[in-house]
Chains A and B, each alone.
Chain A
Amino acid sequence: MAPGRYARTAGLLTVILLAGVALTADALESISLKLGRVAGPGWTVDELESRLVWRDAQRAALLLTATQARLPEPLGTIGGLQLDCPDALIAADELACSHARLEFSSERIGPQQIRTGFRYRFSDRRLQLDLANIRLDGGRVSIKAVQAAHGWDLALQADGLQLDALAARLAAAGILPVLVKGVGTLAFSAQLKGTAARLDAGQVSARLQSSQFSDAEGSVAGENLELLVDATVTAHGASWGLSGELSAQQGQVYIDPVFVDATKTPVHASTRFDWHPGRRRISLHSFDYDQSKTVRLHADGSLDLDAPAPLEVLAVDVEEGTFPGLYNTYFQPWLNDTVLADLHTEGALAGQLHWQDGRLASARLQLDGLTINDREARFGVGGLDGRIDWAGQGPARPSQLAWEQAQVYRVPLGRSQLRVESAGSSVHLREPARIAVLDGELQVEEFELEYAPGAASSWHVDGILTPVSMSDLTRALGWPEFGGKLSGVIPNVNYRDGELAVGGMLLVRVFDGEVTLSNLRLAQPLSVVPRLWVDARASNIDLETLTRTFSFGRIEGRLDGRVDELRMESWRPVAFDAAFATPPGDKSRHRISQKAVDNISSIGGGGLSGAVSRSFMGFFKDFPYDRLGLSCRLENGTCQMDGVAPAAKGYYIVKSRLLPPRLDVIGYADRVDWESLVSQLIAVTRTQGAVVK
């Protein structure tokens, strides 16, 4: 309520009482006055009557009634007005009434019985007015107002105000549109000081309890929330000094897209800032935010709301960020369309971020025992410690990262550390890094990363992979386990536009022979459908080791082969052109066991499983052969098969020598469904049980 209205009310009372004072001179014991309609600017009172009964020279009982009063907004019209003051002090220098009752019925706030009191001093025109027990929106409100020459004081106290009714009232009065709807109560106390129409200082404490509230879209909502708010405002000349404190100890609140469960992680925030309305500037002296088990930070800075980049300076000191709370509450909601959308996190970080003219100018982060694991198992890192130092301008700054263990897909990387230097939008390695890959090591000689805001990043690595045990690697990848070593010189690994290209060659020493991988490319490596292209060459593979490893049935001899243009999607082959055969002029011993022959014939889908062992040929444990081989060109899920030489209506998979016992294996199926071929192969190698080398 504006102080001006008190002044007018006080004026009206004064007129009536002075009339009474004037009449005491005639020593009347009681006076009744029927004033009829009394009006002023913006208000009228109808059928105003007053009755004054003198009790002694200075004391009287005052009764004031009116049938109706139209008061300025937002008070509206009231009816049945009655002011009963049984003990009014009417002295030459003072008018007072300490225990009065005011009754009326308002179209806005219903029937009211208000305890009231007032005191007016003529000498300094000091008016004091108390109104208690005003029924408003299911609650009670009390007002204490003092108007004096030096200014005014107003104290408000409210309890049990129903939020839905209050929101509707504020909306009807045009003060605040209905932002949220819900069930809850508000209690507050406020002390305001001012001069004339100006507020000099104010202090508000409020307690809001809501079992449920939400806006229409559900983007601001809460449940069982209890909020405590304290705020003060002080005028300093043309600017305002504001400070506030907010705490939530229980309940849940959702402010799209942030969800805070204050019962589990109580929140406390406080701030102090100056607001210069004329210059439209905010000087933020401090902002402190503390959410338990999540984040504790301090910020200060300044904003110029009229500038193109309103944020002039902002320094944020994240004193402590705790995972998983920090990620789950404040990072994840913005990362839904990235590879970081679903992470399991642990550990802590701290950091200082500095914005200048609307841009992040520098950042310094300390990572402490961080664990980040992708829930889709594509990557992960554990025990990540480090210090990241970055600035948009100026000399390069050193950063370092160290981790206990990490993993890319299912390949574990051991404890390693990286020392890098960053300047502007590029990062490069300060010294060669060694990253343990299983029992081998990836020695990174050079690493360069370029990124630009809004553009895809690109990076470049030169490195050497020292031998990695294939048995460890295959076990990690969940493949059938086999021995051998993987190594390679990878001089030129480039990542650009979502595609990783590996220059150089990877060498796998396996089964006493060699497999080389070249032209390796990987597109969208961490996406839903990663794609891989590679060419492979195999030479001098020892078949005995190979067949023993996969429990295929013993074959002796050597094998060469090629897989051209192998294309994998989601890590499964969709196309390739492959051929494996006994190398020409191979001098090694060529024998194939009965079991291997049985297995080969069962895979072709001929249903000849066990044909050899059941026939008289079962007498022989193994057979000599001249050449063996198989080729498959995979396309559209179908394998176009061929062997080492054409045969009548088919092709030789195993071609015998001239001398007995002679055994030829001839394939007839030229087109085989790839998926069933793979499942048959798996079935054959599984039935005999895997041999762990």
Chain B
Amino acid sequence: MKTLRIPMTMLLILFAAACVTINVYFPAEAAEKAADRIIKDVYGEQPAPSQGPAAEPQSRLQPESVPARYRYSLLDWLVSPANAAADLSVNTPAISQLKADMEQRHRQLAPHYASGAVGMTHNGEIDIRDQTLIPLKDRNTVKQLVAKENRDRGALYTEIARANGHPEWESEIRQTFARRWVDNAPGGWWYSSASGSWKQK
């Protein structure tokens, strides 16, 4: 029995290490922080976001049952520090340029988010939610803004993944942004679920 127990323990450790490694592989928290930095710059000065998002469960790296103090030591032990310290670089010229363009565009889009004409989609883009809320003469301008914003957002997600040497992270970065665009948005703005139905924050 004893000879069997040692390999079992090894296997368990390996299994645990493998689980954590997969989680750290895409630095979800770092990605959220990076997303928040960009999103707050794009949104600019605005009323503090409502405390609503707590109601929406978000994926967490660690199980909530483990006390925070031990979580990091556990991680340090299992994963080499170089991996655990993984951070997302968002400081490339292309990203700065995209962010600057999005900041500028946001000023034109903000009234349409507030009116409900434009909403945030579940895939990190934006879409026309109700064009009847846009004056006739502005409808095509808003469509143009939406198309440009989506073009830039797509490029932004690709760039962040590429700048960090992991082009395959693009979809996870997109998902992270999709959540954070909504969480950082003021109350009253609209967002769509994966099924495509619109909800007001």
Residues of A within 8 A of B (CB): 214, 216-219, 221-223, 252-254, 256-257, 259, 261, 332-333, 336-337, 341-342, 527-529, 569-574, 636-637, 675
Contact = CB atoms under 8 A, between A and B. Distances in A.
B89 A259 contact: no
A217 B132 contact: yes
Given A341-B148, A574-B93, A254 B143 contact: no
A219 B136 contact: no
B130 A218 contact: yes
Given A569-B94, A572-B93, A529 B155 contact: yes
A332 B140 CA distance: 9
A679 to B, nearest CB: 13
Nearest to A223: B136
Given A218-B131, A529-B155, A637-B89, A336 B143 contact: yes
Given A252-B136, A259-B140, A332-B140, 13 more contacts: A214-B132, A221-B132, A221-B136, A222-B136, A254-B136, A254-B139, A256-B139, A528-B97, A529-B98, A570-B97, A572-B97, A574-B93, A637-B91
B199 interface: no
A186 B21 CA distance: 71
Contact of B147 (A253, A254, A341, A637): A341
Contacts of A257: 139-140, 143
B105 to A, nearest CB: 12
Nearest to A637: B91
B115 to A, nearest CB: 13
A636 B98 contact: no
B92 interface: yes
A571 B144 CA distance: 25
Contacts of B92: 569, 574, 637
Nearest to B148: A341
Contacts of A332: 140, 144
Contacts of B98: 528-529
A570 B93 contact: yes
Contacts of B144: 332, 336, 341-342
B137 A337 contact: no
A259 B140 CA distance: 8
Contacts of A217: 131-132
B94 A529 contact: yes
7 contacts: A216-B132, A223-B136, A254-B139, A257-B143, A337-B151, A528-B151, A637-B91
Q: Please provide the 9 A-B residue pairs with the shortest distance between their CB atoms, ordered closest to farther.
A: A572-B93, A218-B132, A336-B147, A569-B94, A218-B131, A528-B155, A570-B97, A529-B94, A254-B136
Contacts of A218: 130-132, 134, 139
B152 interface: yes
A252 B137 contact: yes
B183 interface: no
Interface in B90-115: 91-94, 97-98, 101
Given A574-B92, A637-B89, A259 B136 contact: yes
B12 to A, nearest CB: 37
Q: Which of B136, B140, B147 has the most A CB atoms < 10 Å from its CB?
A: B136
A573 B98 CA distance: 16
A573 B152 CA distance: 20
Nearest to B91: A637
Contacts of A528: 97-98, 101, 151-152, 155
A337 B131 contact: no
A259 B151 contact: no
Contacts of A636: 89
Contacts of B101: 528
B159 interface: yes
Given A218-B131, A636-B89, A637-B92, A529 B159 contact: yes
Nearest to A574: B92
Nearest to A219: B131
